[in-house]
Amino acid sequence: MMRDADGRRTRVWASRQPGRMLTLATIGFALCFWAWALLAPLGPALRDELDLSSFQQSLVVAVPVIVGSLGRIPVGALTDRWGGRRMFPIVSALTILPVLYVGHVADSLGEVLAGGFFLGLGGTTFAIGVPFVNAWYPPERRGLALGIFGIGTVGTALSSFTTVQLADAVGRSFPFDVVAAALAAYALAAHMLLRDKPGREVTAGSVLARTTATLRLPTTWLLAFLYAMSFGGFVAFSVYLPTYLTTAYDLGRSDAALRTAGFVVIAVATRPVGGWLSDRTHPVSVLVAAYAVVCAGAVVASFGAALVPVGTVAFLGMAAGLGAGSGAVFALVARLVAPEQVGAVTGVVGAAGGLGGFFPPLVMGLVKSITDDYTWGFALLAATAAGAGVLSATVMRRRAEDQEGE
């Protein structure tokens, strides 16, 4: 009888283990993303403090994005080899250093850029969490599980909601201290509690060899473009929307930060919805619909509509489309990529997503400086979203059908 009871407890524990690992991974992702996004809400304040041009301000908020994006390539390959149990604590602990440097030391453009460069390390955790979570769930549940993990991007909303308010209320360094303490607590908890899926497939060969093999796969580049559109669009808005709202609509810093947080919350909330719909319909169908919504919203925004209500509806619609599209892309990754390659492919695709968020702020700042208007920036966004929708409906649909027919 005792053996039966022990057996039942073991089975219950095993059945709950994926949920526990998903929760821990999502928390770590959110905290690291919070650190990654600390500079964006402070963009207007840094512009005034350091006398920055529009382009320099855009560069300050974009540098962590590009570093965090490119860093996902080696981090994803290392996760395939070492597992999330080792990688999450390491990256979380290392991110504490640039957080404290930017909060307490950096007081010039060069120093802020240097701190932002290393702050990008926090953005690499996406390439740790996706293969980690993917291994714990069966194929028919991976879309939703990866979508839930993607809720960790709420770290950007935490930054938008709290950074300016805490800095104004307590002091410029205080939000950085809060994040550093949270990262330290998580690194310890992750070291003690995280476990890789027993029997997970480990790839052989060096990081360079695995990355090179991944880059030779056409599917990798197609998925990378789609994610650059969806997640890249989300990142671009999350880092540049405060600047856009203060410049185009003369909003105060706090008001712009709160509205940006609303955009981020909508995008984060719809990401698991995109994964859930992908499990029940098909990722390609979700992508086509999501990119159509983004295209329509960008067209409306290009005409400079009043912020209330038309502009708000357009921006929140784009947030929903970008969030659902991000969830659907990784549901498609789970269908098209072998489990032992998910980390390496995620690294490249995730890097493309971050790079997709790096260029739009620079383009928007440059367009604003040259034309004193944002129309062409939104027109380019609409055209890119339309192209991603066409690619999804044609090439990606055929590849998915071929893979499922094997």
pLDDT at 1: 44
Query: What is the full per-residue pLDDT of the chain (406 aa) written as tens digits?
Result: 445 555 565 555 456 888 999 999 999 999 999 998 888 788 777 777 887 777 787 788 778 878 888 888 888 888 888 889 999 999 999 999 999 998 888 888 888 898 889 998 998 998 899 889 988 988 778 888 888 998 887 887 788 778 888 888 898 889 999 999 999 999 999 999 999 988 776 666 676 777 788 888 888 999 999 999 998 888 788 778 888 888 888 888 778 878 888 888 898 889 999 989 998 889 999 999 999 999 999 999 888 878 888 888 999 999 999 999 999 998 898 788 877 777 788 888 888 887 787 677 777 777 777 777 778 888 888 999 999 999 999 999 988 887 765 5
> How would DSSP label each residue in 192-256?
HH--PPTT-----S-HHHHHHHHHT-HHHHHHHHHHHHHHHHHHHHHHHHHHHHHHHS---HHHH
Q: What pLDDT, on a 0 to 100 scale, did the predictor assign at position 101?
A: 93
pLDDT of res. 203: 67
List the beta strands (DSSP E) in 69-154: none
Q: What is the pLDDT of residue 13?
A: 46
pLDDT in the model for residue 2: 46
Predicted confidence at residue 405, as pLDDT, reads 57
| Tens digit of each residue's pLDDT (9 = 90 or more) over 33-49 | 999 888 878 877 777 78
Q: Which tokens is 396 given?
A: 């990606």
- The C-alpha torsion from 25 through 27 and 29 to 30, rounded to 10°, is 160
The C-alpha atoms of residue 243 and residue 365 are separated, in whole angstroms, by 9
**Is the bond leading into 309 cis (omega within 30 degrees of zero)?**
yes
Cβ–Cβ under 8 Å, residues 325 and 270? no
Q: What is the DSSP code (8-state) at residue 374?
A: -
Determine the pLDDT at residue 52: 77
Burial (0-12, 13-18, 19+ Cβ within 10 Å), 94: middle
* DSSP characters over 310-333: IIHHHHHHHHHHHHHHHHHHHHHH
Q: How much helix, strand and coil, in percent to the nearest 5, is found in the chain? A: 85, 0, 15
189: burial class by Cβ within 10 Å (0-12, 13-18, 19+)?
middle
Query: Who contacts 135 (Cβ-Cβ below 8 Å, separation ≥6)?
Result: 196, 197, 200, 339, 342
Q: Looking at residue 321, what is its pLDDT? A: 96
Host H or E run for residue 32: helix 2-36
